[in-house]
């Protein structure tokens, strides 16, 4: 029976770039979608940017742009990165849409009407300077347990204790540096206890049906031990999000409207016209309780709680269907360790794509992905070897060794029939690979690849045993040769059909060569006979170690390039050791791993005033600021430097300012006597100073109004 399935990936946060950690998830779900479609099912595949929250509000403020402009810019980057990794969403939206607002309100009103909402006053830390309540990650202070300095409001990174931000010693706001005060405010809650019995039943039922991994269910059971507390779903202004209906100044916590965003994106797809084959009515058919359609989420193991407790509770409480499956994967490590900016293993999607083919990584990740929560290691050496050995050596090689003879001796045509024994050989291979359909559904891509490679080895052994290059010299063996080539190329086609969900672009080239368009896995059951193929062209090239090295170098560079032009950064750190206007992302963000590192404590070495005097620091007025074509790190500045004339400076802060045009007219501080440096894009005449730990966490220094261009900074 064909099934109808809505598939989603966790929503990337619209405050940072897509990196290889995200790619794991989007590739995992994309492979699943392609495989389920090839198995004959109807699949709708949607995602969106998670666009709300304090981090986005503060970042937009820092850049002097509206949050809408910020998330619009990031959306463009995200969609391009995912598309170029072959991730083919039917619709990629944003949570900041009218559709999402309306759907969030609809669910909220239903929750209210069904009595699942309560309100009560909450005491929280408040930034008196910035006039805002502070999320836990925006408060730092001394750990009440081990007394380490500069720890976040919810947990200590040194001793691992978790606590309430009110317990921090000498707390300060990372937004303004001010000492927070306690303030009371009315908050709204969803009464999760109402759903305890329901959720327990749902978890067990989903586990039995294969919709939840046993590890996930076991983890969730711990949360039930003390009973489910009500979930605080409101935040006070200022906040970038949806205002709660009838409650001016109160906003939905981003984790309320983020998962609703899955459905809102799907609603937009349904209402977006006939291309999807869906209509507005399909959305209601899909979300009603008891719908016979399926809803499948792919997520990382850091956001299990939101997807398996809050989200199903919200849906059920609003009278809607619940998820069919929540598929959880582990985190990506590189060479056995956490992705690291200093080692160059924190690789952005775009940096990878600048150096390597998307299908290489899709293939390698698939070969590592199973149905468990285990972390996935990108071992760079194994990556190179496996792609070269499997895709080039075992797969493409079959076609490249046989195609020429078909064109030279048989007019480009495959034999019209196969002798029974040869046909049986094909049938056996086809039957063996049919098991891949179930492996794909179980997300055991690693096992599917093992099976595919087993058959590829059989095919290569067959070609080697019959040595068509030897047979071709013997005119009496023409018919036999034609059979050998026909079976070999059908082996190749069979393998390609089963590999297609994993390496779609590469498979498309192979099908173009075979002049074939197999629509589903069923096409693999019958060999292509009496069929004309196209001339062979290279389908996949070997990974060169230098490309992998260049990617790692470029990823290192993006750190080193942060402040300005390539030298390790002598960044002025706020002298009080605080993060200044540093905006740490809230810990709720889907997939966000870019928590800025702590400001480095000031060095104990001292310099003389003469050392300092060597620096010619000046105020510059930004005349022009723009992105640099061909660089994903640099912004090009033209500064009015007063008596020094105009200066062109390249600065590696693109990740921190998505709308560079907006910087025109403001003051910056730069080093005027740094030796000019010739770069690929032009000469850089100085270095602009910024504060922060790198990436999006960089803040240009400013001078108060009245400072003239060229004014010395002392």
CA dist., res. 56 & res. 558, Å (int): 22
Please, what is the minimum distance in Å from the beta carbon of residue 285 to Zn ion?
52
Residue of 47, 156, 332, 499 that binds Zn ion (CB under 5 A): 156
For the CB of residue 35, give the shortest distance to Zn ion in the complex, in Å: 46
Looking at beta carbons only, is 108 or 152 nearer to Zn ion? 152
The encoded tokens of residue 657 equal 């300012």
The neighbouring-strand residues paired with 684 are 677
User: What is the smallest separation between the CB atom of 159 and Zn ion, expressed in angstroms?
Assistant: 3
Residue 703, both tokens: 């001078």
* Nearest Cα residue to 406 out of 539, 540, 528, 541: 528
Q: Closest CB to Zn ion among 144 and 238?
A: 144
Query: Interacting stretch for Zn ion, rule CB under 5 A, among 129-137, 141-149, 411-419, 660-668?
Result: 141-149
| Contact region with Zn ion (CB under 5 A), list: 140-148, 181-189, 211-219, 429-437 | 140-148
Nearest 5 degrees, angle CA 33-CA 35-CA 37? 70
Q: Is 374 in the site for Zn ion (CB under 5 A)?
A: no
Q: How far is the CB of 156 from Zn ion (least distance, A)?
A: 3
Per CB under 5 A, the list member of 158, 532, 595, 707 interacting with Zn ion is 158
- Applying CB under 5 A, among 70, 143, 447, 455 the residue interacting with Zn ion is 143
Long-range contacts of 163-171 (CB under 8 A, 24+ apart): 165/125, 165/134, 165/136, 165/139, 165/141, 166/123, 166/125, 168/139, 168/140, 168/141, 168/142, 168/143, 168/144, 169/141, 169/142, 169/143, 169/144, 170/141, 170/142, 171/125, 171/139, 171/140, 171/141
Least distance between Zn ion and beta carbon 148 (Å)? 5
Shortest spacing between CB 158 and Zn ion, in angstroms: 5
The yes or no reply on residue 159 touching Zn ion (CB under 5 A) is: yes
- Name the segment binding Zn ion (CB under 5 A); options: 30-38, 135-143, 174-182, 265-273: 135-143
SS3 content of the chain, % helix, strand, coil (to 5): 45, 20, 35
Q: How far is the CB of 140 from Zn ion (least distance, A)?
A: 12
* Stretch in the footprint of Zn ion (CB under 5 A) among 151-159, 384-392, 452-460, 593-601: 151-159
* Residue 306 Cα to chain centre, angstroms: 18
**Degrees, nearest 5: CA angle 686-691-696:** 100
- Spatial CA neighbour of 323 closest among 217, 233, 206: 206
Buried b / exposed e over 110-134, threshold 16 CB at 10 Å, is: bbbeeebbeeeebebbbbeebebbb
| Residue with smaller CB distance to Zn ion, 74 or 156 | 156
Q: Does 428 bind Zn ion (CB under 5 A)?
A: no
* CA dist list (Å): 19 to 259, 287, 391: 21, 32, 24
Among 88, 146, 431, 467, binds Zn ion (CB under 5 A): 146
Q: Which stretch binds Zn ion (CB under 5 A): 153-161, 422-430, 515-523, 692-700?
A: 153-161
Interface with Zn ion, residue 145, by CB under 5 A: yes
- d(CA 341, CA 552) in angstroms, rounded, equals 10
Nearest approach in angstroms of CB 166 to Zn ion is 16
The distance of closest approach from Cβ of residue 337 to Zn ion in the complex, given in angstroms and rounded to an integer, is 24
Q: Which stretch binds Zn ion (CB under 5 A): 129-137, 159-167, 213-221, 582-590?
A: 159-167
Residues that bind Zn ion (CB under 5 A): 143, 145-146, 148, 156, 158-159
């Amino acid at each position: 029976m064909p099934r109808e399935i809505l598939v989603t990936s966790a929503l990337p946060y619209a405050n940072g770039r897509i990196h290889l950690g995200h790619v794991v998830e989007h590739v995992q779900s994309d492979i699943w979608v392609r495989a389920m479609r090839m198995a004959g099912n109807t699949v709708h595949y949607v995602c969106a940017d998670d666009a709300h929250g304090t981090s986005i509000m503060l970042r937009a403020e820092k850049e002097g742009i509206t949050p809408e402009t910020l998330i619009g810019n990031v959306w463009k980057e995200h969609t391009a990165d995912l598309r170029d990794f072959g991730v083919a969403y039917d619709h990629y939206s944003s949570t900041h849409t009218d559709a999402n607002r309306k759907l969030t309100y609809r669910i909220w009103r239903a929750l209210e009407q069904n009595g699942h909402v309560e309100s009560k006053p909450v005491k929280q830390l408040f930034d008196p300077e910035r006039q805002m309540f502070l999320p836990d990650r925006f408060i730092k202070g001394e750990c009440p347990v081990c007394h380490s300095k500069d720890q976040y409001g919810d947990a200590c990174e040194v001793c691992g204790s978790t606590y309430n931000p009110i317990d921090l010693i000498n707390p300060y706001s990372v937004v303004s540096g001010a000492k927070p005060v306690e303030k009371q405010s009315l908050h709204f809650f969803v009464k999760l206890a109402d759903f305890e019995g329901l959720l327990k039943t749902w978890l067990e039922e989903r586990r039995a049906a294969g919709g939840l991994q046993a590890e996930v269910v076991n983890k969730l059971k711990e949360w039930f031990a003390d009973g489910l507390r009500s979930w605080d779903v409101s935040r006070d202004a200022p906040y970038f999000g949806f205002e709660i209906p009838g409650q001016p100044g109160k906003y939905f916590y981003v984790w309320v409207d983020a998962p609703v965003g899955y459905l809102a994106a799907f609603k937009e797809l349904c209402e977006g016209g006939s291309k999807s084959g869906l209509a507005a009515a399909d959305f209601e058919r899909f979300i009603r309780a008891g719908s016979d359609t399926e809803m499948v989420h792919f997520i990382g193991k850091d956001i299990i709680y939101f997807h398996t407790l809050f989200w199903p509770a919200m849906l059920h409480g609003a009278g809607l269907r619940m998820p069919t499956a929540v598929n959880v994967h582990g985190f990506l490590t590189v060479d056995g360790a956490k992705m690291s900016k200093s080692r160059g293993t924190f690789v952005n999607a775009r940096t990878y794509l600048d150096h390597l083919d998307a299908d290489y990584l899709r293939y390698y990740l698939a070969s590592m992905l199973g149905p468990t929560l285990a972390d996935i290691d990108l071992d760079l050496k194994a990556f190179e070897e496996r792609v070269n050995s499997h895709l080039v050596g075992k797969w493409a090689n079959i076609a490249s060794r046989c195609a020429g003879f078909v064109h030279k001796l048989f007019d480009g045509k495959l034999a019209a029939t196969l002798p029974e024994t040869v046909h049986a050989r094909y049938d056996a291979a086809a039957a063996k690979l049919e098991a891949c359909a179930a492996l794909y559904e179980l997300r055991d891509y690693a096992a599917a690849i093992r099976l595919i490679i087993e058959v590829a080895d059989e095919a290569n052994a067959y070609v080697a045993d019959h040595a068509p290059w030897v047979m071709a010299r013997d005119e009496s063996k023409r018919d036999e040769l034609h059979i050998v080539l026909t079976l070999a190329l059908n082996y190749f086609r069979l393998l390609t059909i089963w590999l297609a969900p994993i390496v779609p672009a590469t498979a498309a080239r192979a099908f173009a060569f075979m002049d074939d368009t197999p629509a589903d896995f069923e096409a693999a059951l019958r060999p292509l006979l009496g069929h004309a193929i196209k001339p062979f062209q290279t389908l996949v090239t070997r990974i060169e170690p230098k490309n992998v090295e260049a990617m790692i170098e470029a990823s290192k560079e993006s750190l080193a390039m942060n402040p300005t032009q390539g030298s390790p950064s002598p960044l002025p750190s706020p002298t009080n050791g605080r993060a200044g206007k540093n905006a740490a992302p809230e810990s709720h963000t889907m997939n966000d791993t870019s928590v800025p590192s702590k400001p480095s404590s000031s060095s104990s070495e001292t310099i003389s005033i003469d050392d300092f005097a060597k620096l010619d620091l000046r105020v510059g007025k930004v005349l022009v600021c723009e992105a640099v074509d061909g660089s994903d790190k640099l912004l090009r500045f033209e500064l009015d430097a007063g008596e020094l004339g105009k200066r062109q400076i390249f600065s590696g802060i693109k990740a921190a300012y998505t709308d560079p045009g907006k910087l025109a007219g403001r003051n910056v501080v730069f080093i005027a006597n740094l030796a000019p440096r010739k770069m690929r894009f032009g000469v850089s005449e100085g270095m602009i100073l910024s504060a922060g730990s790198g990436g999006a966490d960089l803040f240009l220094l400013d001078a108060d109004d009245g400072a003239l261009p060229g004014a010395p900074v002392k």
